[in-house]
Amino acid sequence: MDHASRLAAPIVIVHVLNFRNLYGSGITESVPALCRAQADLGRSVTLAVNCARDEWRDNTFELLEVSTPKAFQKLGFCPGLHRELCSIAPRADVFHAHDLWTMSCSYAFSAAKSAGKPFVVSPRGTLSAEALKIKPVRKAIVWQLSRRQLLASADCVHVTSRSEYQDVRNRGVRVPVALLPNGIDIPQWNPDWQSKQSNKKKTLLYFGRIHPIKGLVNLIEAWSRLQARHPDWRLRICGVDDGGHRSELESLVESRDIKNVVFEGPVFGDDRFRVYTDSDLYVLPSFSENFGNTVGEALICGCPAIATTRTPWSELAEVGCGWTCRPDVDGLSEVLSEAFGCSPEKLAEMGKRGRTWIMQTFSWKMIAQKLLETYAWLQGETERPDHVIMD
């Protein structure tokens, strides 16, 4: 069988995701998108979850949903999911778990190893220095008890950026690493960059989880320095409230009498693209990101972006579609001041360059195909792909 024929051979892929613990994070968009892309390439794909969104039910991939009592959902305890994964393991070719700390990852590892099937894990940013500062004692215990051995026994670790690759190696994990970014969904409609009304306030958007690791306190502090000089702008913070952080931010805004800040709940599916299209500038002020899907989503909608140097979006300025800055108040203030000084025509032109770049570089079809090559290599069917790093 030649190389092309091997890659075209049927591969049964089981992706495992603990949706309840990751509600509102980028993983809940990127993992189903990966499943769709691999299924569209002719593979048999199952997404196994403990809870699913309605839009996942009518898809090209198979959905395996196994519910669990609410008290166990946070950590992903779901013995029924483990039983289901073990039952389908004999006919699966590869298991691919997403996230690291929940029991869903353990279930996928157990099912794969018991059936002698390759096991791939995507840590999804959980090993960064900033992420490890969150509940550090619990994570240190779980690392010693199980996760160090799980990663050391994985057949491959998938990371989405060079910094995440370094995080994996810094933890002493020496297994092969597939370095591949996420793809970016393309809206099913064409954004109209000329549709923004000239008589309304321009919008600086943050879209994502409302969590301390996202650097939103710094963003609001930077905004407070600039608001008086730019009354034609507003700050829109849109996303899932994670752990009550939204109320902390609202209290900060109220106590400091900071103007033109709007908080809104999450938006999912294709509806989220209209949030980007209705904005003039996107900002991701995070202290840590393994990828940062929202930057790519903003760009695909023609909205230029700002991201900190703690994200993997260092090429924004080089491409001419945005800025990068230090993850502190001064860094954000400097870049925001420069961006607010741009004309609407310049911002629109930057957005168009960003959309072209994303479509050329972050195609889900291309990323899905490269992961299929990784799976085929793990099965001994092909040579090691160039994106798999051994050292």
pLDDT tens, residue by residue, 244-287: 999 999 999 999 999 999 999 999 888 899 999 999 999 999 99
Contact by Cβ (8 Å): 303, 282:
yes
Q: What is the pLDDT of residue 71?
A: 65
Task: pLDDT band for 11, please (50, 70, 90 cuts).
Answer: low
Instruction: Return the CATH fold of 3-183+363-389.
Output: Rossmann fold (3.40.50)
Token pair listed for 224 = 């407070």
Q: What is the pLDDT of residue 9?
A: 45
**CATH 3.40.50.2000 assigned to 202-361:** yes
Task: pLDDT band for 3, please (50, 70, 90 cuts).
Answer: very low
Does 367 score more than 90 pLDDT?
A: yes
Q: What is the pLDDT of residue 217?
A: 98
Does 70 score more than 80 pLDDT?
A: no
Q: What is the pLDDT of residue 203?
A: 97
Angle at 163 (CA atoms; ends 162, 164), nearest 5 degrees:
90
Task: pLDDT band for 75, please (50, 70, 90 cuts).
Answer: low
Q: What is the pLDDT of residue 18?
A: 83
Domain ranges of the chain: 3-183+363-389, 202-361
Integer Cα distance of 335 and 364 in angstroms: 31
Contact by Cβ (8 Å): 48, 84:
yes
Task: pLDDT band for 363, please (50, 70, 90 cuts).
Answer: very high
Average pLDDT of span 100-104: 90
Distances in Å between the Cα of 14 and the Cα atoms of 10, 47, 63, 75, 257 are: 13, 6, 10, 20, 50
Average pLDDT of span 387-391: 96
Q: What is the pLDDT of residue 185?
A: 87
Q: What is the pLDDT of residue 287?
A: 96
Task: Check if 3-183+363-389 and 202-361 are the same fold.
Answer: yes
Which of 32-46, 60-74, 89-103, 288-302 is the least confident region?
60-74
Q: What is the pLDDT of residue 4?
A: 46
Q: Which are the contacts of 207, defined by CB distance < 8 A and separation ≥ 6?
A: 238, 239, 267, 272, 275, 276, 282, 294, 297, 298
Q: Which are the contacts of 302, defined by CB distance < 8 A and separation ≥ 6?
A: 191, 193, 277, 348, 351, 352, 354, 355
Average pLDDT of span 232-251: 96
End-to-end CA distance of the chain: 30
Average pLDDT of span 136-143: 96
The better pLDDT of the pair 200, 327 is held by 327
Average pLDDT of span 106-115: 97
Token pair listed for 180 = 């591949």
Q: What is the pLDDT of residue 23?
A: 54
Integer Cα distance of 380 and 7 in angstroms: 12
Mean pLDDT over all residues of the chain?
A: 91
Average pLDDT of span 166-177: 97
Average pLDDT of span 326-336: 98
Single pTM value for the model: 0.87
Residue 65, judged by CB atoms within 10 A of its CB (0-12, 13-18, 19+), counts as: middle
Give percent of the chain with pLDDT exceeding 70: 90
Does 288 score more than 50 pLDDT?
A: yes
Give percent of the chain with pLDDT exceeding 90: 79
Average pLDDT of span 8-34: 75
Average pLDDT of span 354-360: 95
Q: What is the pLDDT of residue 19?
A: 65
Q: What is the pLDDT of residue 355?
A: 95
Token pair listed for 37 = 């892309």
Does 55 score more than 50 pLDDT?
A: yes
Q: What is the pLDDT of residue 189?
A: 60
Paired strand residues for 62: 46
